Amino acid sequence: MAEITKKPVGIMETVLRDAHQSLIATRMPTEIMLPIVEKMDKVGYHAVECWGGATFDASLRFLKEDPWERLRKLRDGFKNTKLQMLFRGQNILGYRPYADDVVDAFVEKSIANGIDIIRIFDCLNDLRNLQEAVNATNEIKKREGRGHAQIALSYTLGDAYTLEYWADMAKKIEEMGADSICIKDMAGLLLPYRAAELIKAMKEQTSLPIQLHTHYTSGVASMTYLKAVEAGVDVIDCAISPFALGTSQPATEVMVETFKGTPYDTGYDQNLLAEIADYFAPYRDECIKSGLMNTKVLGVNIKTLLYQVPGGMLSNMVSQLKEQKAENRYRDVLEEIPRVRKDCGEPPLVTPSSQIVGTQAIFNVLLGERYKMATGEFKDLLRGNYGQTVKPMNQEVIDKVIPGEKRSTARSAEATGHTEPELATIEAEMKEWKKQDEDVLSYALFPQVATDFFKYRQAQETGVDVKLADKDNKAYPV
Ligand code: CO
């Protein structure tokens, strides 16, 4: 009898990054992580995601932890497991495009401090905004034999996003020199049968490994993984059960059990996973008790499928409408969102495009006239400062919002004038605080927050108290 070809699916465990970013506003401290690292290291995960995204900002701002120190401690503990981070293309982990020398330095220090796989994405899927980070990773790989550049496509729905579009993007990513592709479905929009079609179409255009990242928000995620794995996806992103489901990922143990005895069998030890879950369960209870984990984010939110709007964007919108005492306009705003999205070239809705489109839709509805007023960010989007959208923007809207202005067709760093090296200037600005090269990069991304952290660190070391400017910043986007 012919033996069935085995094709074990890999699992990337997200509990140390996305899972706690999604469920407890990125507040898991290093001291909770470290005691379980030795066990996690024995599972045989494809990788553990533990850094990047909002973890960097949250560490400095709320936890008063040096994110670089966290990374080094995790690296020390994970002797056999690859560590992965999330990287916002030319924006690195911050909220504006940086010059290439800062991107290069950040990639280099990330790998030097312990990262193996860098997942790089752009909110418009403008691949030019990802090229420098990919190049930087490849340089280090050539030199040191470590480093893996994964390009993540922000998954979304709309006229422009056909199977051909995604398949063509897969081909382009391979040509860019990336090592793997991720489909990043931040809203949980990818349905099971669509996932199978999508993976099949992409696999026809590329031989690169494909990883699927989704969120449980809409309730379909485990089924989506099942169909995607059957269609040949190589790695799926899951979270250990106490930090799974809701707005987080499908549960690791459930997916492991699902594929047991099939060609996709992960081979992971369910007892070992149970010990890891037992470790995190009391911390979850604590988070629920303290209110850090809001039970609202734990259920299924089917509206995310109905309106194709990420869960986080919906809750932002509700609170903005509440502030304006205009909750009765909820439905009008929901209907306005797809129109605004079309007007600005149908971008994916992910940080920061989700906030830009959502806020503009609220303006359009509440002011009684579309584009009577526009936010600075919406104008920047129309100006091309974030890069290029898949579809052309509405010329009438451009003429009304930014009449006569010059629009850019360059990648974001050039469109916003970050063409000259800027690391030396940044270093000169902060040199009184510098204890390690990495401090310059923390400051480059979050000048105010990093300075506060440096003051805090100095106070810890000297015992002299300091006043922090930004201790309880509530405006922090999670
Ligand atoms: Co995610």
> Do 26 and 110 share a domain, yes or no?
yes
CA–CA distance, 157 with 244 (Å, rounded to integer) = 25
Distance CA 208, CA 169 (A): 12
Q: Which of 290, 318, 336 is the last residue of a domain?
A: 290
Residues 217 and 320 in one domain: no
Going from the Cα of 14 to the center of ligand 1, the distance in angstroms, rounded, reads 9
What tens digit of pLDDT does each residue of 303-353 get? 888 888 877 788 788 888 999 999 999 999 999 999 999 999 999 998 789
Query: Which of the listed residues 258, 290, 322 is the one where a domain comes to its end?
Result: 290
Whether 94 is covered by a domain: the verdict is yes
Total domains present in the chain: 3
How many Å lie between the centroid of ligand 1 and the Cα of residue 188?
9
Ligand 1 center–CA 18 separation, angstroms: 6
Tokens of 407: 């629009």
How many Cβ atoms sit within 10 Å of the Cβ of residue 211? 25
Specify whether 366 is located in the same domain as 432: no
151 contacts 127 by C-beta, under 8 angstroms: yes
Q: Are 114 and 143 in contact (CB under 8 A)?
A: no
Output the CA 66–ligand 1 centroid distance in Å: 23
Enter the pTM of the model. Answer: 0.94
Distance (angstroms) between ligand 1 centre and the Cα of 336 equals 25
Domain boundary residue among 290, 317, 334?
Answer: 290
The answer to whether residues 51 and 166 belong to one domain is yes
What is the whole-number distance in angstroms between the Cα of residue 249 and the centre of ligand 1? 8
Residue 343, token pair as written in the block: 């007007």
Distance (angstroms) between ligand 1 centre and the Cα of 184 equals 7
Q: Are 285 and 320 members of one domain? A: no
In a domain, 415, yes or no: no
Axis crossing angle, helix 192-205 with helix 163-176, rounded to the nearest 10: 40
Number of Cβ within a 10 Å radius of residue 417? 12
Question: From the CA of 279, how far away is ligand 1's center (Å)?
Answer: 23
Reference 252, options 233, 232, 230, 275; nearest CA is 275
Query: For the segment 234-268, what is each residue's pLDDT rounded down to a tens digit?
Result: 999 999 999 999 999 999 999 999 999 999 999 99
- Cα 467 to middle of ligand 1, angstroms: 35
pLDDT at position 414, please? 96
Residues 400 and 431 in one domain: no
Same domain (yes/no): 315, 398: yes
What does the alpha-carbon distance between residue 30 and residue 21 come to, in Å, rounded to a whole number? 14
* Same domain as 226, residue 142: yes
Quick: pLDDT tens for 51-73.
999 999 999 999 999 999 999 99
Residue 477 counted as domain residue: no
301 occurs within a structural domain: no
Q: How many A from CA of 185 to the centre of ligand 1?
A: 7
Distance 197 CA to ligand 1 centre (A): 21
Q: How far does the centroid of ligand 1 lie from the alpha carbon of residue 247, in Å?
A: 9
The alpha carbon of 421 and the centre of ligand 1 are apart by a number of angstroms equal to 31
Task: Kindly state whether residues 69 and 118 are assigned to the same domain.
Answer: yes
pLDDT at 212: 98
For residue 186, the CA-to-ligand 1 centroid distance in Å is 5
Q: What is the CATH number of the domain that holds 277?
A: 3.20.20.70
Q: Is the CB of residue 84 less than 8 Å from the CB of residue 119?
A: yes
| Bridge partners, residue 184, by sequence | 154, 213
CA distance 470 to 56: 16
Gap from CA of 283 to ligand 1 centroid (Å): 21
Q: Could you tell me the distance, in angstroms and rounded to a whole number, from the CA of residue 239 to the centre of ligand 1?
A: 11
67 prior amide bond cis, ω within 30:
no
Task: Scan for tokens 């794995």, then name that residue.
Answer: 229
- Quote the domain boundaries for residue 327: 309-409
- Whether 90 and 164 map to the same domain: the answer is yes
* Secondary structure letter of residue 239 according to DSSP: B
For residue 451, report the distance from its CA to the centre of ligand 1, in Å: 28
Distance CA 180, CA 17 (A): 20
User: Which helix H or strand E contains 358, and what residues bound it?
Assistant: helix 353-366
CA of 370 to the centre of ligand 1 (A): 32
Using an 8 Å Cβ cutoff, are 57 and 125 in contact? no
Ligand 1 centroid to 310 CA: how many Å?
11
Question: What integer pLDDT is reported at residue 3 of this predicted model?
Answer: 61
Q: Tell me, in angstroms, the distance from the centre of ligand 1 to residue 455's CA.
A: 32
Identity of the residue numbered 155: Y
Q: Tell me the DSSP string of 21-34.
A: HHHSTT---HHHHH
Contact criterion met (CB below 8 Å) for 133 and 161: no
Distance 19 CA to ligand 1 centre (A): 8
Whether 51 is in a domain gets the answer yes
Report the CATH number that the domain containing residue 363 is assigned in CATH: 1.10.472.90
158 Cα: distance to centroid of ligand 1 (angstroms): 20
Specify which residues 235 forms β-bridges with.
10, 211
pLDDT for 447 equals 96
Cis peptide before 352 (omega within 30 of 0): yes
Instruction: Say how far apart CA 322 and CA 317 lie, in whole Å.
Output: 9
pLDDT < 70 positions in the chain:
1-4, 466-478
What is the whole-number distance in angstroms between the Cα of residue 86 and the centre of ligand 1? 9
| Distance (Å) from CA 154 to ligand 1 centroid | 10
Residues 56 and 170 in one domain: yes
- Report yes or no on 417 lying in a domain: no
Dist. CA 194 → ligand 1 center (Å):
19
Query: Residue type at 245?
Result: L
Give domain status of residue 478, yes or no: no
Pair (328, 367) in one structural domain: yes
Q: Is residue 333 included in any domain, yes or no?
A: yes
